[in-house]
Amino acid sequence: MALTVLQIQSTKPGAKNQRLSDGGGLYLLLTTKGQRWWRFDYRFEGKRKTLSLGVYPDVTLRSAREHHQEARRLVAQGVDPSALRQQRKASSEVIAANSFGAVATEWFERQKTQWSERHAGRIWRRIEQDILPWLGQRPLHEVRPPEVLQVLRRVEERGAIETAHRLLQYCGKIFRYGVATGRIESDPCRDLRGALRPVQETHLAAVTEPHAVALLMRTLHAYEGSLIVRSALQLAPLVFVRPGELRKARWDAIDWERKEWRYELTKTGTQHIVPLSRQALSLLKEVEPLTGAGEFVFPSSRGWGRPMSENTLSAALKALGYDGSVHTVHGFRAMARTLLDEELSFAPHLIEHQLGHRVKDALGRAYNRTKHLPARHEMMQRWADYLEKLRNDR
């Protein structure tokens, strides 16, 4: 006798599990805890098997009968519905494991160890916000160049041209990782070269002519602001580190005996060593009585528990007549790179090391940050002497 909805709803749990039969092997299993599960019992190749068809009331009586009829047709055709379900599940799991999102996650987890935590977080946020909502669920092997381009166009259209180019690079790396791990045969991003609007390259302004550098040095030493800001301004060209690294300098990172400043690079999280010239040490010793008891060499004017504001040195340069179109705090790096090469004839790899850039040898291995330290100490002292000579020569 066929089941009715009224019968299903009126039957109460008992001391034992109950089967409410609907015929043809279909029944509702009512457990002692009140759970109601649809089941289909059948024989396949001489073996008794049971197929789960869902939970009532999520699966209604009508739906259960439809699933039941489909399963019976499969059995009649010589197909085991249980085995077919397992195959489909396995197939869906394979597809999920080979989706763009899954491969991107796998690539990122393997690559992030070479980046600082902050830099890695920034990369993943870009991918998560601008790529995964549209490509994350797509099987990697099905993604075509126009599809990637359409996603990148969304970023491009909001004016983030450089971000769109970076995302194209990340996508290319993810696809190439897919090639390396056997998921796909080629990288579709290679066909997108030239498809995005070019980035309008802008170089941060920097003074690089010796006579102009001489005037800049004299101007910095004539600054009449606070000792903290004056010391930071005068130290900036001597160490030519990134502005954020200068303003966040900590006293515990200064090694007076070795005459070195050691800290982690913001981009890679690797250790960087700045040899300190006689002039740099003199500036630090001058400001030490004022800020040495605190954490930061150049603390904020609003509270010494945090570093100097990122706008402080830029504002000081502007007050001295050097706005962003003439020279920037970051420009001290370009100034050093140019003059150490053109005027002092130091080897490019030494300069690049000191700038905190990745430098590789002929075999493609990244140099250790501690290599060439004696030569870098000599370079930094000669650089400081050169700047001092420019400032004093009239």
Catalytic residue numbers?
A: 242, 267, 330, 333, 357, 367
| Exposure on the CB side of residue 70, measured as CA atoms within 13 A | 12
| DSSP per-residue letters across 211-279 | HHHHHHHHHHHT--S-HHHHHHHHHHHHH---HHHHHT-BGGGEETTTTEEEEE-TTT--EEEEEPPHH
Return the number of other C-beta atoms located less than 10 Å from residue 386's C-beta.
Answer: 16
181/91 Cα distance (integer angstroms): 18
3-state SS class at 285: helix
| Longest distance between any two alpha carbons in the chain, whole Å | 111
Pull the structure tokens for residue 387: 């700047």
74/68 Cα distance (integer angstroms): 10
324/336 Cα distance (integer angstroms): 18
- Work out the burial of residue 211: count CB atoms within 10 Å of its CB; fewer than 13 is exposed, 13-18 middle, 19 or more buried: exposed
CB 327 within 8 Å of CB 317: yes
4/62 Cα distance (integer angstroms): 10
Report which of 120, 112, 115 is spatially closest to residue 270, judged by C-alpha positions.
Answer: 115
CA 49 to chain centre: 50
Q: Mark out the alpha helices in the chain (DSSP H runs).
A: 5-10, 61-76, 81-97, 100-111, 117-130, 132-135, 145-157, 161-180, 210-221, 227-239, 243-247, 278-291, 312-319, 331-342, 348-354, 373-392
**How wide is the angle at C-alpha 253 spanned by C-alphas 355 and 277, nearest 5°?**
55
3-state SS class at 15: coil
